[in-house]
Amino acid sequence: MSVPFPSPAAPRTTLSLRPEELRPHPLCDTQPPKNLIIRLANSIKKYGILEPISVRPAADPQGFPYYEIIDGHRRYQAAQLTELRLIPCRVLQPTDAQCAKMELIAALKGQNSHFFEQAESFHRLMTSYRMTQEEIARYMHLSQSAVANKLRLLQLEEPLRRRIQQAALTERHARSLLRVPNEDREQVLTLIIEKKANVALADRLIEAYLSASSSASQPEAKPAPKPPVPEAPISEQLVPEPLVSAVPSPAPTMRPIQPSKFALRDLRPLYNSIERSLAIFRKTGASADCRRHEDESGTYIVIHIPKQGSV
């Protein structure tokens, strides 16, 4: 006998439901890695389901009631593998903000949406549901750097996003375009689209543009004017030569030479060298992200390479 639905005005409750009373969200990813489900099933056999599955009341077209899984699809599949008879479930009401948040996350997991749409959804989770990047990364099974890189794409203006999407450019193209000043991105994007540039060529075009812009912005060094040679005072001009030579001149003071400290004012060549190396590394099929951070003590360059099996 099915457990009756809670009334719409009832508070959030936790019930023990049979697996047949539950159905996955239609947009959820129902094909997680098999080894992950096996490890999760072994954990459930030892400790049980520690975090209840989030569900909401629903009904099929024939009016048959069931509970739709909002969050916890992998725990549900692992529980089925262990032939668990009852599954702890947290029942959410349709008006619950948690329910809407979990539904949005489930849709993100299941849909093969464009990276700009993913970035907008991540931003909505942060602004409307007060989620942090770490929480989004945990729910989406991503690294925090991957979430941060998605959010950085929103720095591109809406017309540029539309052009990138229409030209079927990749997320890597869009991230490279962020290196260009905002007022020049339209021109550089047009060049990339006209040349049908892949990621490597786009990086070279952007680097050439930045180098040319940097050279044009530096003013030409003008030679310093020669200081005028002071004329000898009249009193010295009237002094006879032997008398002038008889006055001993003070010995020149020798100052020790202080070695100047080396200061690397422009780290762009180093950044470009790292980006080129990572571009070659990504051609092998691997994934790598490079982040830079500067503070008063110096510059930090962090290269993140996910392990096999992680995103």
Percent pLDDT > 70 in the chain is 74
Residue where a domain terminates, one of 50, 66, 92: 92
Quick: pLDDT tens for 135-158. Answer: 888 888 889 999 999 999 999 999
Give yes or no for residue 242 having a pLDDT over 80: no
Our count of domains for the chain comes to: 2
In this prediction, residue 303 has a pLDDT band, given cuts at 50, 70 and 90, of: confident
Q: What is the CATH number of the domain that holds 71?
A: 3.90.1530.10
- Evaluate whether residue 221 is within a structural domain: no
Would you give the DSSP letter of residue 131?
Answer: -
Higher pLDDT among residues 308 and 301, named by residue: 301
Would you give the DSSP letter of residue 15?
Answer: E
Give yes or no for residue 229 having a pLDDT over 80: no
Give yes or no for residue 191 having a pLDDT over 90: yes
Residues of the domain holding 179: 156-215
Query: The tokens of 116 are what?
Result: 């700009």
Residue type, 244: V
The pTM (predicted TM-score) of the whole model is: 0.49
Quick: pLDDT tens for 89-115. Answer: 999 876 677 777 777 777 777 667 889
Residue where a domain terminates, one of 92, 109, 125: 92
Q: Enumerate residues 6+ apart whose C-beta is below 8 A from 182.
A: 157
In this prediction, residue 256 has a pLDDT band, given cuts at 50, 70 and 90, of: low
Give yes or no for residue 28 having a pLDDT over 60: yes
- Evaluate whether residue 32 is within a structural domain: yes
- Evaluate whether residue 88 is within a structural domain: yes
Torsion angle defined by CA atoms of residues 186, 192, 198 and 202, in that order, rounded to the nearest 10 degrees: -70
Would you give the DSSP letter of residue 19?
Answer: G
